Amino acid sequence: MTIDKPALLDALNSVIGIPLIPFAGSSIDFAGHAKNVDYLMRNNHLSAGRPRVISIAGTSLVHHVGYDDQVKLLDIAGQRMEGEGVLMAAVAPNPLPAAADLIARLAALPRPPDVYLVMPLSGTYGPVGLYETLMAFAERQAREHGARFLYYYRRPRDRAMIIRLIQESPHFIGVKIGTNEDDVPPFTEALNESKIVIWGIGDRSTAAAEMGAKGHTSGINIVVARASDEINNAQRRADYGAARQVEAEISPLEDIRFMEERAYNYSAVMEAINCGGFDDVVGGAGGPFNPRVPANIAQRIEGIMASIKHYH
């Protein structure tokens, strides 16, 4: 059953867990992926029984797997969620016909995504072209498949046109901020309550929440679910001091993930899972373009996990 827009917006004011895609050699470990979704669904510490939000996105390595595998990953996630929670699919918008085909396939699944995250456009383009093309694309996908969209904002040059896109398209329900906190106020001031501004750079999200952002994406929710959930719980009750206390505990792991322009965004999470000795999540052995971290980084992660493992 399709979740209505007000309920979806409230559900997105949450932790958007982005579980990594585990690999065994060169192949996706689909059984491990199913186990990871199970972990997130079973370990829901969100206040007031709020639904878990799961996204298969960039941190998962969605850019490095083919469309057939993307459909299978989302299908497995939807099945394991058993009609509960909110499912988000990330879609790279180019080439656009391929993106349209992917949405058509995902929309036909027994449990289709509740919302699609439009990833940053690669290649050469202009802001006006981005606005015009995505307006028409969203209109068609909404008409044919009932699709609803968030835009992943990563390029400051495009800000004015992205704000206009979200203001004018009823099918874009919000934005995920992937730049810095300074970009939060322009979006929150321009968009009304029918749209959402989500912090998109990990669990250190309280500064953005104080500026009006609602919810945040998390790559470490798959290893320390309670930490991410407690941060969001505190933010929703405006207890920013409590949120920052938890942030301080997980900050060393986030420091590693985002060092050297996010070089270890995926592999640090994989290492955290593997060194934690958990039997309910699967880290894998490294994905495409994302090998295991160097030994000195692995040693640091092992020390960090010793202090935050209780949040698993």
270 touches 223 (CB < 8 A): no
Residue bearing tokens 């592999």: 267
Tens place of pLDDT for every residue, the chain, 312 residues?
589 999 999 999 999 999 999 999 999 999 999 999 999 999 999 999 999 999 999 999 999 999 999 999 999 999 999 999 999 999 999 999 999 999 999 999 999 999 999 999 999 999 999 999 999 999 999 999 999 999 999 999 999 999 999 999 999 999 999 999 999 999 999 999 999 999 999 999 999 999 999 999 999 999 999 999 999 999 999 999 999 999 999 999 999 999 999 999 999 999 999 999 999 999 999 999 999 999 999 999 999 999 999 999
256 to each of 199, 202, 259, 260, 294, how far by Cα in Å?
19, 12, 5, 9, 12
Helices (H) and strands (E) in the chain, counts: 12, 10
The span from the CA of 64 to the CA of 292, in Å, is 16
Can you give the pLDDT at residue 1? Answer: 53
267 to each of 38, 138, 207, 209, 283, how far by Cα in Å?
21, 33, 26, 27, 9
User: Class for domain 5-311, per CATH?
Assistant: alpha beta
63 to each of 8, 60, 70, 136, 229, how far by Cα in Å?
25, 8, 9, 24, 27
74 touches 37 (CB < 8 A): no
Which tens digit of pLDDT belongs to each residue from 44-58?
999 999 999 999 999
The span from the CA of 276 to the CA of 218, in Å, is 18
Q: Residues 81, 137, 217, CA angle at the centre, nearest 5°?
A: 40
Which tens digit of pLDDT belongs to each residue from 174-206?
999 999 999 999 999 999 999 999 999 999 999
The span from the CA of 211 to the CA of 1, in Å, is 33
Answer yes or no: pTM beyond 0.85: yes
The span from the CA of 83 to the CA of 274, in Å, is 30
The span from the CA of 286 to the CA of 229, in Å, is 26
Helix (H) or strand (E) holding 284: none
Domain ranges for the chain: 5-311
253 touches 227 (CB < 8 A): no
